[in-house]
Amino acid sequence: MNGRNESVEERLDRNWNELMQELRVMQTGAQILAAFLVVLPFQSGFTRLQHPERIFYLGLLVFSALLIVLLVTPVAVHRHLFGQRVKVTTVHMGHIISKVVVLGVGVLVAGCVWFVVQVLYGWVLGSIIGGVVMAAVVFLLVLLPRIIKPTSSVPVLPTDTEQ
């Protein structure tokens, strides 16, 4: 029992709407980081980057572009399947993609932090700070959701034997 008086279709619509809102939140952050990466080569200091730094930058840039496309994928699938009464499929696919995107955004954030710190202060400090951020990403986005004990928001009504 989910505590709601809604049909299967209403539940799927609510789940889809919640999923889309979550993806919008992630998309904003991913797009801001991608915009940051896109303008970097046009800055005067970019020419001082060594080959390994440019390779890592290129990886971040491509990863951010693919992440944005992945964020839009549920909408494209929904548009393609619209009206075919397969909302269960689109909600399930969107759920799986959103789990991948959550981790992808975390990796992108940690990668950008590593890149900036590494350019400013060198490989050692970049690796330390980037590693700490990546550890925080893994804890907050992978482990914490799994160790939280869920509690119902629906109050439990006393039964006749408890009164």
121 in any annotated domain = yes
pLDDT of residue 161: 57
Domain presence at residue 2: no
Confidence at residue 138, expressed as pLDDT on a 0 to 100 scale: 97
Tell me how far apart the alpha carbons of residues 98 and 60 are, in angstroms, rounded to a whole number.
Answer: 20
The answer to whether residue 163 sits within a structural domain is no
Is position 22 within any domain?
A: yes
pLDDT tens, 77-94? 888 887 788 888 888 998
Q: What are the tens digits of pLDDT across the range 27-57?
A: 888 889 899 899 988 888 898 999 999 999 9
Summary mean pLDDT of the chain: 88
Q: Which pLDDT score, from 0 to 100, does residue 159 have?
A: 62
In a domain, 131, yes or no: yes
Question: Is 75 part of a structural domain of the chain?
Answer: yes
**Does residue 153 fall inside a structural domain?**
no
Residue 1 predicted with pLDDT over 50: no
> Does residue 127 fall inside a structural domain?
yes
Give the tokens for residue 25.
Answer: 């939140």
Q: How many domains, the chain? A: 1
Q: The tokens 């202060």 sit on which residue?
A: 121
Question: In terms of Cα–Cα distance, which of 108, 19, 117, 17 is closest to 68?
Answer: 108
Domain membership of residue 71 as a residue range: 11-144
Q: Tell me the percentage of the chain whose pLDDT exceeds 70.
A: 91
Q: What does the longest C-alpha to C-alpha distance in the chain come to?
A: 76
Distance separating alpha carbons of residues 54 and 119, to the nearest angstrom:
10
Tokens 């990546």 sit at which residue?
134
Taking the complete model, does pTM exceed 0.85, yes or no?
Answer: no
Cα–Cα distance measured from residue 130 to residue 121, given in angstroms and rounded to the nearest whole number: 12
Q: Do 91 and 18 meet the contact criterion of CB atoms below 8 Å apart?
A: no
